[in-house]
Structure 1
Amino acid sequence: MRRALYSTAAVILTGSLFVAAPADAGNRHQSKAKPVNTSKLTKAVTVNNQLKTLRQLQVIANRNDGNRASGLPGYDASADYVASQLKKAGYKVKRQTFTFAFSRDLAPAELQQVTPTARDIETAAFDYSGSGDVTGTITPIGLVIPPGEAGSTASGCEVADFPPAGAEPAVALMQRGFCNFGVKAANAEAAGYDAAIIFNEGQDGRQELLTGTLGEPVGIPVVGTSYDDGVALAEQDGATVRVFASTEVDLNRETSNVIADLPGKTKNSDQVVVVGAHLDSVAEGPGINDNGSGTAAVLEIAKQYTKTKLAKKAQRPVRFAFWGAEEKGLLGAEHYVANLTDAQRAKIYANLNFDMIGSPNFARFVYDGDGSDGDAGPAGSAEIEKVFTDYFAGRRLATAPTAFDGRSDYGPFIAAGIPAGGLFSGAEGIKTPEEATLFGGTAGVAYDVCYHQACDDITNINTRALDQLGDAAAHSVGVLALSKQGLYGDQRRAKASAKKLAAAAARGNGHALTH
């Protein structure tokens, strides 16, 4: 799952909690559509087979500098592995290549206060930060301390916010909020500052070390820090700091998506279900939870979908997609959607997205299609959400809605008006006491303490999460692929209309319905 691009993007919103009520046993989709029995697929999608894929991804990372990041050899090896597995399962596989602006740290960023008191400050470079080693005087830029409403702090959002930098090295100190990080950094560079620090905004959930992406390269070092450390720097008039970042940036690095379709014709070929997970990790680690877990589930569903011969009963085609460069801003999914023709886009029935479904301190988050906890997804997203909540309710498992906040590959789909849904087990957000009561685990601890770190390895997976969310993912694919009525009961209505026409004709009134 990518870091936030926009400084208004908060940690994952959990909102109100849904406590599963008693429901009919079995894997049945309780909605307008006739129930679909997906147990054959859910039983075939096992934790053991998903772990086999995860171990293979770990081996790939071990052989490639500890990561599987897009634009680096570990990603290419991961894509080769997934493509070969899909081909063995009978799929026609396409590698959709594209170029993107690549960035990674060549050395850990450093931030030290030099005067009036020397101290080290926890920091991280933003993606697409420039390289440099700058010692200069801090200049606070439009800070709001204490903070107001989340996202309202416009620190650094206009070039006019910056006083003249002067001839001596100067470091802009900015606060998260209102506009994206890249705008703040570019404005600081345009105003003549030699480096920039962006600290967290300060509200609940916006206090920890700030990391993220600038979206595109800047020429000065840009690092993040926590709210408390940012405030401490701001409160010392004339403080000097050292900002160090060493990064590699390539504006034309190549990577790819892996797209798999079954050959042959399927009923309702104009209703394509796109099931996706991002394949890339961050450069800092192997990405076994983020997003090896989603990759393993989607790959195993694809394999068992053919092995169980359920594909022969499909009412609509299923396309399995493994996205590249998600960690750089959803670039693979964005490229895919942007390059669809209008006719192709119109044929996409739904997008299912699975990003981080094995978090150690997991929750069962379902994307909030109906908008009960925020903005609703495009029309049809509520029905997709219900597929998941009905499934979990049938197993007496609680869920919680999670907002469509643009942090994963459903983003380009919902921006194009395509209904979407999916599952998420939590990233750097902190589990609440209420969530610990519902889901188990530990309150006050991140869902995944190894998020975007080297420790996101094969030891960073909760097999119970993989079991529960993997089965729910398989169920959702089965429902959307096999349901004769679909999400909206379209085929059922068409059948009913045909019966009415036949009955009217039998009564001798058929001519009245043809004019």
Structure 2
Amino acid sequence: MRRTSSASVRRNGAAKRGVAGAAAIALALGLSASPANAAETELPGLVKIGKVRKHLENLNTIAEYNGGNRAHGTAGYDVAAKYVVDQLKRAGYKPERNEYEFESWVERTTPEFAQTKPEARDFANGEDFLTMRYSTSGDVTAPGVPVNADSNASGCAAADYAGFPKGAVAVVKRGTCLFAEKEKFAAEAGASALVVFNHGATSDPADTGPVNGDLSATSTIPVVGATPEVGKALVDAGEALELRVKVDSEVVSDTGYNIVAETSTGKKDNVVVVGAHLDSVEEGPGINDNGSGTAAVLETAKQLPKLGKQKNRVRFAFWGTEELGLIGSTEYVENLTQAQRDKIALYLNFDMIGSNNYARQIYDGRGELDGSVPPPSGSAAIQKLFEEYYDGRGLPHEPTEFSGRSDYSGFMNAGIPSGGLFSGADAIKTEEQVAKYGGTAGKPLDPYYHSAEDTLENINWTIADDMTDAMANSVETYADSTLPVNGVLRTKEARTVEFDRRADHWLR
């Protein structure tokens, strides 16, 4: 692994004394040293990709012998957590099992959605439609009525429902407002069910497939999300349209747990949190999503103590129930006191760093992308650190949205500076990205995302190696100094931001 000179203020060795002396003079004059002027980091050379691969092989074996996955509530997750705990203990940590309770939405039986008039047509679950998360149960057959369906604000205001026939199924287009708002206005207008069809505004599967939506809380009426093609057919059917919507769901109390461990040295009031989610989906072993992030964070944790004492405390977190809606990380942050949150200097997130048809993506700490929420102050400095690292190695990179898709969400809501790396999921690779990284245009960045084929054989080791190096560089840097991120005086206020997503589920 290559090293870089862009990231740490660690000083050692006679050859570096001149640089250290210059830094001391600068500080005496009231100037500040920055990571861009720092000496080489050592941790990337210790966190070897072969060791990361061994962790992935072990996670793969655990999944293989425990039902084929590491999903929440399975033996695969429990054994994987025990593996992480054992590895951390061997490295001198005292890992803790951080438990939490939550409400879990489940479908008891397969949903049904059909056009009964003017022509009968059954729609396929998973292909033509999906039940929105937190949809209530119901079995409705009633006229289907489009509501301002050619507008991006379709169903986003009570006025859209003027003259709406009570008991009908509302058909609206996905657009600018939250799905929860669409459901609220539909229910208040007397709708018996709601169908939200996708807009198809881009070629991204998230925009062309059935809406994979999240209502955030249990709805009043059944809600399903459909494809643009289904939506067009329903709108074109005219006044004779009749629909059947059947959802059989419930919300149950559940428990989950994260694994958390931190260094024994470093300032307790300036904690660097480094996280990756440990659970997979039920469909497969989740070796990229997110065995890759888990393995790299675990090996980074094991190697960090070899550098000696840290100036800042580093806390490593392996999140549970991410695939159910970022539950583990969100519960963790929300259950901290404000004083405990104030001690967190920043959060680094690593979710999917070995995608087969990858892009080298850095979270948008400047908030420049359309799909990003405004990040907390200090997030731009984290983005810059990763950019400088890759620039120093001559590796192309690009920003990726802070859209609410991964475990940074809860930290950002608490006003904590956040950043990290991502090599891509279901977004389609463009010709421009092929020119930068190679690979295949027109295919997802991870063609095996959320499938049984998310296996060791489909990891791209080039990007996994690059991102592991950058992770190690950032951890060593911030273990030494967080000055560019949070300065000396830290003021973080809890706030509420509106993400577009909760994990893989769209909120609008």
Considering the TM-score relative to the shorter chain, is it more than 0.5? Answer: yes
The answer for the alignment partner of 2:233 in structure 1 is: 232
Work out whether residues 157 and 178 of structure 1, in 8 Å CA contact, stay in contact via their aligned partners in 2.
no
Matching residue of 1:44: 46
Question: Is 1:304 aligned with 2:303?
Answer: yes
**C-alpha distance after superposition, 1:198-221 (max 9, x if no partner):** 111232243332213222233654
Q: Amino acid of the residue matched to residue 286 of structure 2?
A: G
1:487 aligns with 2:487: no
Which residues in structure 2 correspond to 1:44-443 (within 5 Å)? Answer: 44-106=46-108, 108-121=110-123, 122-132=128-138, 134-144=140-150, 147=151, 152-155=152-155, 158=158, 161=161, 166=166, 170-189=168-187, 191-204=189-202, 205=204, 206-218=207-219, 220-237=221-238, 238-247=240-249, 249-250=251-252, 252-263=253-264, 265-266=265-266, 268-306=267-305, 309-310=306-307, 312-373=308-369, 377-443=375-441
Map of 2:498 onto structure 1? none
Cα shift at 1:254? 0.5
Per the TM alignment, residue 324 of structure 1 is displaced from its structure 2 partner at its CA by: 2.1
1:165 positional shift? 5.4
Alignment-mate amino acid for residue 487 of structure 1 = P
Matched AA of 2:41: T
Q: Which amino acid aligns with 2:293?
A: G
Instruction: Name the TM-score, length of structure 1 as normaliser.
Output: 0.79
2: CA distance, partners of 1:382 / 1:260: 27
Structure 1 residues 51 and 130, CA gap change in structure 2 (3 angstroms): farther
1:500 maps to none
Task: Give secondary structure in 2 for the equivalent of 1:138.
Answer: strand
Contact 2:345 2:486 in 1 (8 A): no
1:33-69 Cα offsets, whole Å, 9 max, x none, are: 3414224x22332333333333333444445554433
Provide Cα deviations, 1:110-169, integer angstroms capped at 9, x if missing partner.
Answer: 43334333444322222223445544432222312xx5xxxx4242554973765556xx
Q: CA separation in 2, counterparts of 1:158 and 1:64?
A: 50
Cα distance in 2, alignment partners of residues 69 and 219 from structure 1 = 29
Instruction: Please state if 1:29 is matched with 2:6.
Output: yes
Q: 1:214 to 1:489 in 2, by over 3 A?
A: closer
Shift in Å, 1:406: 2.0
Q: In structure 1, how many angstroms separate the alpha carbons of the residues matched to 2:119 and 2:363?
A: 47
Q: Is the 8 A contact 1:188 1:196 kept in 2?
A: yes
Deviations 1:392-441 (A, max 9, x none): 11111111111222222212222222211100111222222111111211
**Superimposed CA distance per residue, residues 344-367 of structure 1 (whole angstroms, 9 cap, x where no aligned partner):** 222211111111112221111111
User: Alignment partner of 2:317: what SS?
Assistant: strand
Q: For residues 147 and 192 of structure 2, what CA distance do their matches in structure 1 show?
A: 14
Shift of the 379–220 alpha-carbon distance from structure 1 to 2, 3 Å rule, reads closer
Q: Aligned residues: percent identity? A: 45
Deviations 1:423-466 (A, max 9, x none): 01112222221111112112222212333344434444222221
How has the CA–CA distance of structure 1 residues 137 and 346 changed in structure 2, closer, same or farther, with 3 Å as cutoff? same
1:69–1:282 CA contact under 8 A, matched in 2? yes
Counterparts of 1:249 and 1:236 in 2: how far apart (Å)? 35
1:109 and 1:223 in contact (8 A); partners too: no
Q: Work out the CA distance in 1 between the residues paired with 2:418 and 2:486.
A: 18
Q: Name the counterpart of 1:462.
A: 460
**Which residue number corresponds to residue 15 of structure 2?**
none
Deviation for aligned residue 1:230: 0.9
What is the letter of the counterpart of residue 438 of structure 1?
Answer: K
Q: 1:212-245 deviations in whole A, cap 9, x for unaligned?
A: 3222233654322211221111110223344344
Where does the alignment leave 5 or more consecutive residues of structure 2 unmatched?
A: 8-32, 489-508
User: Is the 1:213–1:328 Cα contact (8 Å) retained in structure 2?
Assistant: no
CA RMSD of aligned residues (A): 2.9
Q: Give CA-to-partner distance per residue, 1:240-286, whole Å, 9 cap, x none.
A: 34434454531x210112111133x42x3322100011222334444
* Secondary structure of residue in 2 paired with 1:77: helix
Q: CA deviation at 1:317?
A: 1.1
Determine the structure 2 residue equivalent to 1:18.
none
State the match for 1:9 in structure 2: none
Deviates most, 254-263 or 50-59: 50-59
**1:99: how far off?**
1.3
Q: What is the CA–CA distance in structure 2 between the aligned matches of 1:188 and 1:83, rounded to whole Å?
A: 48
Matches of 1:409 and 1:235, distance apart in 2 = 40
Amino acid at match of 1:28: S
- CA 1:196–1:419: 2 relative to 1, 3 Å: same
Q: 2:161, 2:186 within 8 Å by CA — same for their partners in 1?
A: no
Mapped to 1, the partners of 2:117 and 2:343 lie a distance apart of 61
Q: After superposition, give the CA deviation of every residue in 1:176-205 in whole Å (9 maximum; x if it has no partner).
A: 123322333455455554443211123224
Does the CA-based 8 Å contact 1:111-1:244 persist in structure 2? yes
Secondary structure class of the residue paired with 2:312: coil
Aligned partner of 1:475: which letter?
A: N
* Residues 397, 295 of structure 1: alpha-carbon distance in 2 compared, 3 angstrom cutoff: same
Cα deviation for residue 321 of structure 1 reads 0.8
Q: Helix, strand or coil: the match of 2:450?
A: coil
CA separation in 2, counterparts of 1:296 and 1:313? Answer: 23
Matched residue type, 1:123:
F
Shift, 1:332, TM fit? 2.1
Match of 2:28 in 1: none
| Aligned amino acid, residue 124 of structure 1 | L
